[in-house]
A and B are shown apart, each in its own frame.
Chain A
Amino acid sequence: MFKEFKSIFNLNWIYIFILLIIFWIGEINLYSAAGGSLDPWASNQLIRFLFFLPFFFLVIMLEPKFIFNFAEIFLILVLIGLITTLIFGYTGMGATRWIRIAGFNLQVSEFTKIALVIFMAKYFHKLNAEKTIGLFKSILPLIVSVIFFILVAIQPDLGTAVIILALGLVVIFYAGIKLIYPLISIGIVLSISPILWTFLKPYQQNRIQIFLNPDLDPLGRGYHIIQSKIAIGSGGLKGNGFLEGSQSSLDFLPEKETDFVFAIFSEQFGFTGSILLISLFFIMFLIPVLKTFKLTQAFNKIILFVLSFKIFFEFLINISMTIGILPVVGVALPFMSYGGSSLLSNLIICALLLNFMSINEKKRMFS
Chain B
Amino acid sequence: MEKNKTSEDSIKILNRRSFIIIIVGAILSFIVSLRLFSLQVINFNFYKKKSVENKLSIKLTPPLRGDIYDSKKNLIAGSSSLYEFVVFKNLSKDHFQEIKKLDSLISLNLNFEEISKRLKKYNEYSGFSLSRASWEQIVEFEKNKFLFNSIKIIESKKRFYPYQNFSQIIGYMGQPTQSFELYSKGVFHLEKSYEKHLKGTPGKIFSEVNAKGKTIREISIEKSIKGNDLDLTLDLSLQNYAQSQLPRNKKGSIVVISVSDGSILSMNSNPTFDAQIFEDRQNNKIQDLLNDDQKPLFNRAFSGFYPPGSVFKPISALVGLQRNLIDPQKVVFCKGHSSLGDRNYYCWKKKGHGKVNLKKAIKESCDVYFYELAKKTNIDDIASLSSNLGLNKEYDIGLSNIGKGLVPSKKWKKAYLEESWYQGETLITCIGQGYNQTSPLQLATLYSALLNGGKYPIPKLDKNTPTKFTGKLLNNEHQKIIVNSLNAVVQEPKGTAHKLSISNPEFVKIGGKTGTSQVVRIKESEREDDQYKSKEIEERFKDHSVFVGYAPYDKPKYVASVIIENGGSGSAVAAPIAHKILDFAFKNNV
**A residues touching B (Cβ–Cβ < 8 Å)?**
125-126, 128-132, 170, 173-176, 227, 229-237, 246-247, 250-252, 266, 270-271, 274-275, 278, 282, 285-286, 289, 292-293, 296-298, 301-302, 305, 309, 312-313, 316, 319-320, 323-325, 364-367
Contact = CB atoms under 8 A, between A and B. Distances in A.
Nearest to B20: A173
A194 to B, nearest CB: 25
B39 A131 contact: no
Contact of A323 (B2, B18, B32, B44): B32
B41 A236 contact: yes
B7 to A, nearest CB: 5
A278 to B, nearest CB: 6
Contacts of A364: 4
16 contacts: A125-B6, A130-B9, A131-B10, A170-B21, A173-B17, A233-B47, A234-B48, A234-B50, A236-B40, A247-B54, A250-B55, A278-B33, A292-B18, A297-B4, A320-B35, A323-B36
Given A251-B212, A316-B25, 4 more contacts: A173-B17, A233-B48, A250-B216, A319-B32
B1 A126 contact: yes
B40 A274 contact: yes
A309 B20 CA distance: 12
Nearest to A278: B29
Contacts of B11: 296, 298, 301
B210 interface: yes
Interface residues of B, number: 45
B39 to A, nearest CB: 4
Nearest to A300: B6
A252 B211 contact: yes
B51 interface: yes
B21 A233 contact: no
A131 B5 contact: no
Contacts, number: 156
Most buried by A among B33, B39, B47: B39
Given A366-B1, A367-B4, A232 B208 contact: no
B47 A232 contact: yes
B139 interface: no
Contact of B39 (A130, A229, A252, A366): A229
Contacts of A132: 13
B14 interface: yes
B28 to A, nearest CB: 5
A333 to B, nearest CB: 13
A64 B376 CA distance: 124
Contact of B36 (A125, A230, A232): A232
Contacts of B74: none
Nearest to B18: A305
Interface in B33-64: 33, 35-37, 39-41, 43-44, 46-48, 50-51, 54-55
Contacts of B2: 128
A250 B216 CA distance: 9
B219 to A, nearest CB: 13
Contacts of A170: 21
B544 to A, nearest CB: 61
Given A130-B10, A246-B55, A271 B18 contact: no
B34 to A, nearest CB: 10
B417 interface: no
B20 to A, nearest CB: 8
B563 to A, nearest CB: 59
B210 A250 contact: yes
Contacts of A128: 2-3, 6-7, 10
B31 interface: yes
B210 to A, nearest CB: 4
A282 B26 CA distance: 8
Contact of B50 (A125, A233, A296, A319): A233
Given A246-B54, A274-B36, A282-B29, A236 B44 contact: yes
| Most chain B beta carbons < 10 A, residue from A173, A236, A366 | A236
A231 B55 CA distance: 11
B151 to A, nearest CB: 25
A121 B533 CA distance: 118
B40 A270 contact: yes
A353 to B, nearest CB: 14
Given A233-B47, A234-B50, A301 B14 contact: yes
Nearest to B53: A230
B36 A234 contact: no
A286 B39 CA distance: 27
A285 B32 CA distance: 16
B14 A250 contact: no
A326 to B, nearest CB: 10
Contact of A367 (B1, B208, B211): B1
Contacts of B18: 174, 289, 292-293, 301, 305
Contact of A266 (B25, B40, B48, B210): B40
A125 B11 CA distance: 11
Contacts of A301: 6, 11, 14, 18
B10 A176 contact: yes
A313 B35 CA distance: 17
- Among A173, A271, A289, residue most surrounded by chain B Cβ atoms (within 10 Å): A271
Given A235-B40, A323-B35, A230 B47 contact: yes
B32 A316 contact: yes
Nearest to A246: B55
B520 interface: no
Contacts of A365: 4
